[in-house]
Amino acid sequence: SAVISQKPSRDICQRGTSLTIQCQVDSQVTMMFWYRQQPGQSLTLIATANQGSEATYESGFVIDKFPISRPNLTFSTLTVSNMSPEDSSIYLCSVNGQGRWHTEAFFGQGTRLTVV
Amino acid sequence: AQKVTQAQTEISVVEKEDVTLDCVYETRDTTYYLFWYKQPPSGELVFLIRRNSFDEQNEISGRYSWNFQKSTSSFNFTITASQVVDSAVYFCASANQAGTALIFGKGTTLSVSS
């Protein structure tokens, strides 16, 4: 299996500022995924982060707004830039397991962001 | 493209009632994976089950059971003798191959009252 540590667990931020969310995995993984869950909504994929290459963004999400770093096989960051109240959401990091767990999807505990 | 539909937005039951959460999926792939997750008010996603497209066996785990039917593209989840602690949002999700991102349904909010 995979254990994911996500920080911070929650934050309240002023509009116009940026927040960087960290995701640490206890094993090396090829791909890491970032999701957004707006209040009362389902999870939507923001981007897929591969180590050593630029992240691949889904429609509606752009690198300038959600820059992602993937410096190694166990760590990634997602930055929410120039925040507005509409960015208030839960942001979740996810990885797929390795070996016999390769079809499992594991999630961090999420970062609950409130923009005021 | 894959799609997951959870037609039930909210369900309310009284403790000890049985409840079934519906999930219908769409995919053109012959190999795919289906998942159920529970999201309690605390917000974390709790993995419940994964099912491969080539394994149509139903599964039972305690009070939980899952009915996978490829003929109707459904992967329904039943909670027997529901409890207050079952109150949560339940998400059905799919992936078209191992190691890819999940496509989530909109979720069903289950409220169990005592």
pLDDT at B62 over 70: yes
What's the mean per-residue pLDDT of chain A?
Answer: 92
- Check CB contact under 8 Å for A105 and B43: no
Distance CA A75, CA A60 (A): 24
- pLDDT of A107 > 70? The answer is yes
Task: Find the closest chain A residue to B50 by CA distance.
Answer: A104
pLDDT value for A64: 97
Percentage of chain B modeled with pLDDT above 70 = 98
Residues of A in contact with B101 (CB under 8 A): 33, 45, 48, 94
pLDDT of residue B31: 87
Residue A101 has pLDDT above 60, yes or no: no
Query: How confident is residue A52, by pLDDT bands cut at 50, 70 and 90?
Result: confident
Count Cβ–Cβ pairs < 8 Å, chain A vs chain B.
53
| Interface contact flag, A42 B106, Cβ < 8 Å | yes
Instruction: State pLDDT tens for residues A16-33.
Output: 999 999 999 998 988 899
Residue in A42, A45, A112 closest to B91 by CB: A42
By Cβ distance, the residue of A30, A48, A104 closest to B101 is A48
Give the list of residues 6+ apart from residue A63 with CB closer than 8 angstroms, or none. A54, A55, A57
Amino acid at A37: Q
Q: Do A33 and B52 touch (CB under 8 A)?
A: no
Residue with structure tokens 């039951």? B13
pLDDT digits (tens, 9 = 90+) for B63-114: 999 999 999 999 999 999 999 999 999 999 998 876 678 999 999 999 999 9
pLDDT surpassing 80 at residue A97: no
The pLDDT of residue A115 is above 90: yes
For residues B24, B29, B33, B39, the Cα torsion angle rounded to the nearest 10 degrees is: -50
Q: In B, which residues are within 8 Å of A36 by CB distance?
A: none
Q: What does the pLDDT read at residue B55? A: 82
Nearest Cα to Cα of residue A87 among A6, A18, A7: A18
Shortest Cα distance, chain A CAs vs residue B31, angstroms: 12
Q: CB A103 to CB B52 under 8 A?
A: yes
Note the pLDDT of residue A103. Answer: 65
